[in-house]
Amino acid sequence: MKGPYGSGAGLYNLGPHTKGTKEQGPQSAVTHAQLYRKGLAGLDKYCKASHGKSFAELPTDQQDSVLQKVESGEAKFDGIDAQGFFSALLQDVPEGFFSDPIHGGNRNMVGWTMIGFPGVRYDYRDWVSHHNERYPLPPVSIAGRADWTPHKP
């Protein structure tokens, strides 16, 4: 969130800021970094007021319940659109979990390993004719991987 995405670089952020339709995307002067700071603070404040604990301290079933209330609009946060915050989470979390690790998410390529994505290997010709077989090699990032060596099946 410290980079261009978090600061809203390249986005028009002068007024007017009226609530648009879902198709128009967020219509706000709040940057992504500010949205996350305020949204996470609002989430904790809401959880402490309704459950007596911060979000991280709640059991997973209560966390799910809180997130459902945020998504539906039932939960309200002071000074921030709770549903807009949830929408940002819904977009950004998968992007971070499945992005190339060079961008700061998907540490150790765990997201790719979980779904069997091989990453950005330079060559798959040896596997073109292997239909319905799981690719046996670990994923490779744009930056490569320290333990990678070429492999012939």
Task: Break the chain into its structural domains and give their ranges.
Answer: 4-8+24-98, 108-153
β-partners of residue 80 are 77
What's the confidence (pLDDT) of residue 151? 56
CA distance 48 to 50: 6
- Coil, strand, or helix at residue 119? strand
Q: What's the angle, vertex CA 5, arms to CA 142 and CA 16, rounded to 5?
A: 155
What's the confidence (pLDDT) of residue 63? 97
Radius of gyration of the chain (CA): 20
Closest CA to 123 of 109, 110, 135: 135
User: Tens of pLDDT along the chain (153 residues)?
Assistant: 888 888 888 887 787 877 778 787 777 788 889 999 999 999 999 999 999 999 999 999 999 999 999 999 999 998 888 998 999 999 999 998 999 998 888 988 999 999 888 888 778 788 889 888 888 888 889 888 766 555 555
Beta-strand ranges (E) seen in the chain are none
Q: Residue 6: CB partners within 8 Å, gap ≥ 6?
A: 31, 32, 33, 36
What's the confidence (pLDDT) of residue 98? 92
pTM for the full model? 0.74
